[in-house]
Amino acid sequence: MRNELLNKRVGELVVEQPGRSRIFERFSIDYCCGGKKTLADACKATGASPDAVIDALTHPESNNPSTSEADWSNARMGELIDHILTKHHAYLRTELPRLSEMGEKVARVHGHRFDWLSECHRVFEGLRAELEQHMMKEEQVLFPMIREMEASGARASSHCGNLQNPISVMEHEHDNAGQALARLRELTGAFVPPDDACNTFRAWLHGLAELEADLHEHIHEENNILFPSAQKLESQLTTA
């Protein structure tokens, strides 16, 4: 069992049991952008104890599905896309402007005391700009291609060629988002507010932590479930 778990990809482990995402969050193991790494490699990258991670993964409580963590591995791709749009894209369209405004205020008011705030604001604004363009490309290009292919049972027609081209772009942008999130976590000391932080300061850091958690789930659902399912179907249709 131990070696079997160590040799499995992290993303695959979460697809099998969505509740495992909480365990990987606890050990700072990237199961979304880094979902293609084996558990052994992921533990090595973060310095996490493989024995401790495996103990957590095999604990009886980790095998009980949470009602808040739906299993999308067997859903139709169109249903998963609807979920991504209504939960994650809608969340980002509301939250990114809010956190941008709060971050600008916090940096302006408290930047003289905490010099890392200016870089936080720059990193966040870069992340926001890329995510907004990213969502537009998914909604206007990739998601319609996947829906068309699933509905028609034929390869989708597009100037992009096959699905691998836009998927590769989306995965690259996911990697960029993951790097920005990691930098924000590093700069803020894991989103922990200073002892004398005002309410806006605290709310902004809390919002960044929530953004990180949502993006991890969001990227996992695309990188490890939606995209492989779409590529598998396209491959079947190509060889049929």
Give 102-127 pLDDT, tens digit per residue: 999 999 999 999 999 999 999 999 99
Considering 39, 63, 87, which residue would you say is the last residue of a domain?
63
- 37 & 85 share domain: no
- 86 & 202 share domain: yes
Those residues whose C-beta lies under 8 Å from the C-beta of residue 112, and which sit 6 or more positions away, are none
Q: Would 68 be classed as within a structural domain?
A: no
Structure confidence at residue 34 as a pLDDT band (50, 70, 90): confident
Give 194-229 pLDDT, tens digit per residue: 999 999 999 999 999 999 999 999 999 999 999 999
Instruction: Tell me which residue range forms the domain holding 167.
Output: 77-239
Considering 37, 63, 89, which residue would you say is the last residue of a domain?
63
Distance in angstroms (rounded) separating the CA atoms of residues 18 and 225: 11
- 92 & 51 share domain: no
- 101 & 210 share domain: yes
- 19 & 99 share domain: no
- 96 & 215 share domain: yes
CB 202 within 8 A of CB 142: no
The angle formed by the CA atoms of residues 68, 173 and 185, to the nearest 5 degrees, is 60
Identify residue 36 by its one-letter amino acid code: K
Q: What are the helix and strand counts (H, E) for the chain?
A: 12, 0
- 52 & 146 share domain: no
Determine the pLDDT at residue 84. Answer: 98
Q: Would 51 be classed as within a structural domain?
A: yes
- 35 & 103 share domain: no
Kindly compute the dihedral angle of the four CA atoms of residues 90, 92, 98, 99, in this order, to the nearest 10 degrees: 160
Q: Would 69 be classed as within a structural domain?
A: no
Determine the pLDDT at residue 111. Answer: 94
Total domains, the chain: 2
CB 155 within 8 A of CB 237: yes
Determine the pLDDT at residue 162. Answer: 83
Determine the pLDDT at residue 131. Answer: 98
Distance in angstroms (rounded) separating the CA atoms of residues 32 and 9: 11
- The answer on pLDDT for 68 being more than 60 is no
- The answer on pLDDT for 185 being more than 80 is yes
- 22 & 109 share domain: no
Q: Would 72 be classed as within a structural domain?
A: no
Identify residue 165 by its one-letter amino acid code: N
Structure confidence at residue 23 as a pLDDT band (50, 70, 90): very high
Mean of the pLDDT values across residues 53-59?
A: 90
CB half-sphere exposure, 36, CA atoms < 13 A: 7
Structure confidence at residue 59 as a pLDDT band (50, 70, 90): confident
Determine the pLDDT at residue 64. Answer: 52
Element at 93 (helix H, strand E): helix 90-110
Distance in angstroms (rounded) separating the CA atoms of residues 220 and 73: 11
Mean of the pLDDT values across residues 58-76?
A: 68
Q: Would 24 be classed as within a structural domain?
A: yes
- 100 & 177 share domain: yes
Tokens of 214: 């949502």
Determine the pLDDT at residue 60. Answer: 59
- 106 & 217 share domain: yes
Mean of the pLDDT values across residues 20-24?
A: 89
Distance in angstroms (rounded) separating the CA atoms of residues 103 and 117: 8
Alpha helix stretches (DSSP H) within 113-163: 116-137, 143-152
Those residues whose C-beta lies under 8 Å from the C-beta of residue 231, and which sit 6 or more positions away, are 163, 164, 167
CB 81 within 8 A of CB 146: yes
Tokens of 178: 């993951």
Structure confidence at residue 156 as a pLDDT band (50, 70, 90): confident
